[in-house]
A and B are shown apart, each in its own frame.
Chain A
Amino acid sequence: MRAVIIGVLVAAGAMAVAFGYEAVNNGSTTSSVPAAVRTGRVASDFSIKLFSGDAFKLSEQRGKVVVVNFWASWCPPCREEAPALERAWRAYKELGVVMVGVDLWDNDKDARSFIQQYGLTYLNGPDSNGEIAIEYGVTGLPETWFLDREGRLVRRWIGAMTERQITAFIEEALK
């Protein structure tokens, strides 16, 4: 009987090892930050047609720090954050910092009036099919990515930021 019990326990241990090995091989290692949105990773390229009519391509900004801000006109924290983003952008644009707003789940009229209302001068365009937001794993608005000169993610922030935070994160990306 004792031999049976030991056998059962050994089998359980072996199964645990086997399951763990299989899970690791399948890439199911548990990590709090999903693989595609980890800091240090080069952000996926995207193209967007701006509200101004111009085109923007992320990969063409190499050598510059890029701030990608996901927003919507109906999102109250985005309204709270917009003036801070504009001020930070004005303070850093001479240093080669690029700021681009990606408008999500919005209508064109509301988005344009939002830009006008807050006097936003940084680049802005709609993510019409939502593919940029999905590629960047956006889970809430606003969300902002700070990319260094090589396009690597330095900081990802979910929620509204103050001007002080934006400035600190831009400085971090400029280093």
Chain B
Amino acid sequence: MNVARVRRMLTLALLTAALVAVLVGTARAEGPPDEDVREIGSGLICPLCEGQPVAVSSTPQAQQIRELIRKKLSEGESREQIIRYFVDRYGEGVVRDPVKEAIKQFVGWPLATGIVGGGVLVAFALYRRQSSRPRSGGTPALPATKDDVLTKERPFKSKKKKKGSRAKL
């Protein structure tokens, strides 16, 4: 075999190996993308930062939590596992908007359904009560007199007059 050809092949093989090593090294050094760390961090409240999300807080604790999230992601832990890890240590309060979460998870839909159901029930009860009443507003204590009839009719008449005056304007 030609010596020059062997050299060329060896050089090519070495360059390929170096390129592969660089690519693998870069991929390892990169670790999990910042977006993943930020996404998990934005769902967590820094325990010592007065309600600030871990993703934006500049305190040492938040920075350390972000680093730990990164480490756990690179170790293959899922988002849920990481959040559970922090909840187990800091309680449900470490999750952003725990009230909203709890309402959604525990009482939200059943409560909403209950409220709607209750509303429907009340509305139905009121409707039935109204519809069961006589339209005249019940039996009068005394029979209606001529004056009563006139009093009831007066507004109707005056309304008619008003309508007429408006039309003229």
User: Which A residues have a C-beta under 8 Å from some C-beta of B?
Assistant: 1-2, 4-5, 8-9, 11-13, 15-16, 19-20, 22-23, 27-28, 30, 32-37, 105, 129-131, 133-140
Contacts and interface: CB of A to CB of B under 8 A. Distances in A.
A129 B121 contact: no
B65 A12 contact: no
A12 B87 contact: no
Contacts of A131: 64, 68
Interface in B83-100: 84, 86-92
Interface residues of B, number: 30
12 contacts: A5-B120, A5-B121, A9-B117, A11-B117, A19-B106, A27-B84, A32-B91, A34-B91, A131-B64, A133-B61, A133-B64, A139-B90
Interface stretch (B4-12, B107-115, B152-160): B107-115
B89 A134 contact: yes
Contact of A30 (B48, B92, B110, B124): B92
Contacts of B105: 19, 22-23, 28
Contact of B61 (A5, A27, A35, A105): A105
A19 B110 contact: yes
Given A34-B91, A35-B88, A5 B110 contact: no
Given A105-B61, A139-B47, A8 B116 contact: yes
Contacts of A32: 91
B124 A5 contact: yes
